[in-house]
Amino acid sequence: MKRSALFVAASSLLFAACGPAEVVVTAELETVDPTTGETVIRPVSDLEIQILPYDRDAVFDSMTAAFPTPEPEIPADLLQAREEIAAAQNRWRNLQDQWNQLRDSLQTINEELEQYARGEPRYVALFNEFSDAEAEYERVEREVDRAFEEFTGLQEASLQQTQEVRVMRENWADEAFAEIGLVIETKVVASGLDAAADTTDASGIANFAVAPGEYWIHARVEEVYDELYWNVPLTVVKGEPVTLTLTRANAQRRPKL
């Protein structure tokens, strides 16, 4: 069993006695705008966010410590290989973007060329511009091909090791966390509070109404080679709305196989 989002909603008399408090969680991440190349902050929509009355990390850490064999680690050479793959992929994509821009420029120049006769000065200037752009286009095209070969070669070289390590870690987790559902149910009941979940809207916002108490906000966003993971403690006080923003700054970055 993977460390998936497991929780059991328990009935809470305390909720009725103390009254709910509002918790608003916003998820937003920096990303590169493919059009401008600038870094922008955008909301994360359709992200499941859980508010849990127990420390999820502490539960898994205690079960890991109690299990007779340690969790198989991801070998350092594999982590290094994955960093190299990610860098190669970024280089390939950047070159591909450059190639696309040059292609569009060539098309624009060609369309303008059609407006002039061959002997006109503007035609000659555009023709020279087209020739220079075409040479650059062909050079970048060769670089795109080489970068793609490098990326796929690195990926294929580590594929078998990645699969072996993934299976080994998943088999270990199936045994180590076999009783995770029961442990979490016990934690929820002992807390006297309810767990809850909501999905962020188009603005990246999720809303909760919970009884006062100690909680942890849990969410995760999968990226290409790793994931952003949140397990953020939160104290909810009666009558005091709470707001929290999930960003890269308060996330843990975890390798993903």
Nearest to 144 by CA among 104, 102, 101, 95: 95
Q: Residue 179 falls within a domain, yes or no?
A: no
Task: Pick the last residue of a domain from 169, 201, 234.
Answer: 169
Q: Residue 7 falls within a domain, yes or no?
A: no
Contacts of 169 (CB under 8 A, 6+ apart): 71, 72, 74, 257
CA-CA distance, 164 to 174, in Å (whole number)? 16
For residue 204, pLDDT over 80 is answered with yes
Residue type for position 9: A
CA-CA distance, 231 to 3, in Å (whole number)? 13
Q: Residue 58 falls within a domain, yes or no?
A: no
Q: Residue 59 falls within a domain, yes or no?
A: no
pLDDT tens by residue, 114-149: 999 988 999 999 999 999 999 999 999 999 999 999
Better-predicted residue by pLDDT, 140 or 3: 140
Look at residue 225 in the predicted model and tell me its pLDDT.
87
* Beta-carbon count within 10 A of 177 CB: 20
Q: Residue 243 falls within a domain, yes or no?
A: yes
Do residue 100 and residue 19 come from a single domain?
A: no
CA-CA distance, 115 to 61, in Å (whole number)? 71
pLDDT band at 36 (very low <50, low <70, confident <90, very high): confident
Task: Pick the last residue of a domain from 128, 154, 169.
Answer: 169
Q: Residue 36 is part of which domain span?
A: 13-53+192-255
Rg (the chain; Cα; Å): 26
